[in-house]
A and B are shown apart, each in its own frame.
Chain A
């Protein structure tokens, strides 16, 4: 089945640093990838939709300059949390779909981000 790999799975860093999270589709080409944020015991909150080769579409309330998304190839999207602060601590999950085949989203295993 379709596999999405997300890395790292857990990162702890100091306030003010930038953190990059990678999302890779391992066995299919992902024309569209999504980035979500999830707080404990809450549902997924869509942050942005990224299409390969174009700028990401951010949801209302999500700061573009804070959460930089790059989708430079059909198998890789990255989310960079710039100048991270403790309030950015959360569980970030990516997903990918191959729109050419009307397939569902396949999710990565998430990245737990802890900012000290």
Chain B
């Protein structure tokens, strides 16, 4: 079983839709959770960083962590064509070793 599971998609939504991206994990020791956005031929860009459980909101983005279910989510409200990218989840228990999902490819159609 992989440490982190993420549906690769591709996911295609109309502009303005709410997007839900998810990852599950198996290691209960994970306590740092991250979401990255990666455009083609660019490095991943940090979107959200959460410690332990709970929600975190930043503009149109909301990250949720449910440690009891070992499940994390990223919601994008009012999605825009510029949100079209690959979204990677990542997590860590110590802050020194990180485990990444395979990434979900998102396309927002104008």
Contact = CB atoms under 8 A, between A and B. Distances in A.
Q: Specify whether A and B are partners.
A: yes
Main secondary structure of the interface of B (DSSP, over half): strand
Given A44-B88, A104-B32, A109 B98 contact: no
A91 B41 CA distance: 8
A43 B101 contact: yes
A44 B44 contact: yes
B100 A43 contact: yes
A108 to B, nearest CB: 5
On chain B, which size bracket covers the interface? 20 to 34
Contact of A109 (B34, B43, B105): B43
Contact of A107 (B36, B97, B103): B36
A105 B51 CA distance: 14
Contacts of A34: 98
Q: Most chain-B CB neighbours within 10 Å: which of A42, A104, A109?
A: A104
Size category of the binding interface on chain A: 20 to 34
Given A44-B100, A106-B46, A97 B95 contact: yes
B45 interface: yes
Contact of A105 (B41, B90, B103): B90
A104 B90 contact: yes
B101 A99 contact: no
Interface of A: 1, 4, 6, 32, 34, 41-44, 49, 91, 93, 95, 97, 99, 102-110, 112
8 contacts: A43-B88, A43-B101, A43-B102, A44-B88, A91-B41, A99-B95, A104-B46, A107-B44
